[in-house]
Amino acid sequence: MSYVTRKIKRASERGKRMAARRWELDRERRAHLASIDPVQFSRAIVRHIVVIDHETTVREAFIYAFDSRRSATAKLRRVLSQA
């Protein structure tokens, strides 16, 4: 087997391992969210952002206490975008 073929195969196997780990973490996160009792589930709003452009376009985002920093940043970026 050539060097390039081995390198491609190793990269493919590494990608498959990384994807499997990502899906495992996602399954754990979803299972945890499903196990939370809705009565105890706090939907505390940390930040509510409303953007009005030219008095015609309105975009808003809610950032909750349970949002990760990454998702909060994505929401902020999405609401502040000009699209």
Q: Give residue limits of the domains in the chain.
A: 1-38, 42-83
Contact 64, 46 (CB under 8 A): yes
| Paired tokens of 21 | 């780990």
- Round the average pLDDT of the chain to a whole number and report it: 87
Stretch 12-18: mean pLDDT, rounded? 96
pLDDT reading at 36 higher than 90? no
| DSSP β-bridge partners for residue 56 | none
